[in-house]
Amino acid sequence: MKILIDIGHPAHVHYFKNFISIMQKKGHSFVIVARDKEVTFKLLKSLGIHYFSRGQGSRNIILKIFGMFKIDMMIYRLALRHQPDFFLSFSSEYASHVAAILGKPNIVFNDTEHVQYMKLLCYPFADAIVTPAFFFDALGEKHISFAGYMESCYLQPRYFTPDESVLAKAGLKAGERYVVVRFVSWSANHDVGQRGLSYDYKLKLIKELTRHTRVIITSEGNLPEELLQYKLDIPPEYLHDLLYFADLYIGEGSTTASECSMLGTPNIYINSLYAGNVADQEKNYGLSFRFKTQDNVIEKALELLSTPDLRRVWQDRRKKMLEQQIDVTAFMVWLVEQFPQSVRILKKNPDYQYNFR
């Protein structure tokens, strides 16, 4: 089977990388299309995954509409040349359009409830829409839920082993305590009208944290000059190792907060935008703290940093969470290889997914 996957964000590389590796070993092949966003290309190259670029896209809504047709045509021509049998993506309207035109099976994954335009531009063209169980939107007959998170695809222990040597690459000393702070660019469609930390509060936060511990910053956009000295400068494939050994993560990005919960690292998510994965990890496992505004973020951070046995407590909570998850990557492999029979099985018996542990 030849499978076309459209990658629109660095996180999507992680979602599908183990799936790609397993499927290639089973004799399947891939056509990877990728958006030039942040470190997406670097991650794909580090994994030795060949890809076709579909450009950067645009932040302007009018240009986005015209760009959709342009990208649709690019993927359509690519599909005609490479003849994929199956289309797979994390909410790619482009791959979904082309799959529908060519009459090919198309499975769409999603975990982001607030991206409402998917209901118009993507879902109608999908054969199955697959989401984590916490997803609160009901998406009709095509909707399939699984017990886990998208981050489970790459951060479950069978797929991820933390590498302590990364700490030296980041300029950290053995046993040195540190906090990872992440700022987002606020340029995504779902970021319109949302907010996180103000400029002044970012400066205040970093100043206060540095009084107690080492601070490392990752950022989607440009940092204020005052904070450049804290910027992380290691290859992006090492980020999860760095998060695993951190004492705390503080940031505006929900994916990284959820990754920390998967790793058993205490984390604070500051964003007015609801994130189902973080909310589920906070409510059911006590692994995360979500703040709609920046009020009291510093106080919570200092409270966590002074908590005795903090890491042991979070690792125990992580263990409880992992015990309730399926192996999402193994589930994905079965879902695609046995499609459409796999969908019929899950519709009849949703608990069949627990065969993949």
The CATH code of the domain that includes 294 is 3.40.50.2000
Together in a domain, 46 and 19: yes
Beta-ladder partners of 31: 4
Together in a domain, 172 and 315: yes
For position 186, what pLDDT does the model report?
Answer: 40
Together in a domain, 173 and 288: yes
Q: Is residue 152 part of a domain?
A: yes
Together in a domain, 144 and 226: no
Q: Is residue 161 part of a domain?
A: no
Together in a domain, 12 and 79: yes
Q: Is residue 62 part of a domain?
A: yes
Number of structural domains (the chain) is 2
Q: Is residue 244 part of a domain?
A: yes
Q: Is residue 279 part of a domain?
A: yes
Q: Which two tokens stand for residue 101?
A: 């035109």
Together in a domain, 190 and 305: yes
Together in a domain, 83 and 225: no
Q: Is residue 104 part of a domain?
A: yes
Q: Is residue 208 part of a domain?
A: yes
d(CA 301, CA 215): 12
Q: Which two tokens stand for residue 28?
A: 């399947």
Together in a domain, 218 and 131: no
Together in a domain, 175 and 44: no
* 339 close to 86: Cβ distance less than 8 angstroms: yes
Q: What is the residue range of 238's domain?
A: 166-323
Q: Is residue 133 part of a domain?
A: yes
Together in a domain, 31 and 88: yes
For position 189, what pLDDT does the model report?
Answer: 43
For position 196, what pLDDT does the model report?
Answer: 65
Helix 310-323 / helix 254-263 crossing angle, nearest 10 deg: 90
Helix 10-25 / helix 328-337 crossing angle, nearest 10 deg: 60
Together in a domain, 316 and 170: yes
pTM of the predicted protein model:
0.93
Together in a domain, 123 and 194: no
- Within 13 A of 330's CA, how many CA atoms are on the CB side? 13
Region for residue 48 given its phi and psi (left: phi exceeds 0; alpha: psi -120 to 50; beta: otherwise): left
Q: Which amino acid is at 289?
A: F
The list of the chain residues with pLDDT below 50 reads 186-194
Q: What is the DSSP letter of 192?
A: T
For position 129, what pLDDT does the model report?
Answer: 97
For position 144, what pLDDT does the model report?
Answer: 97
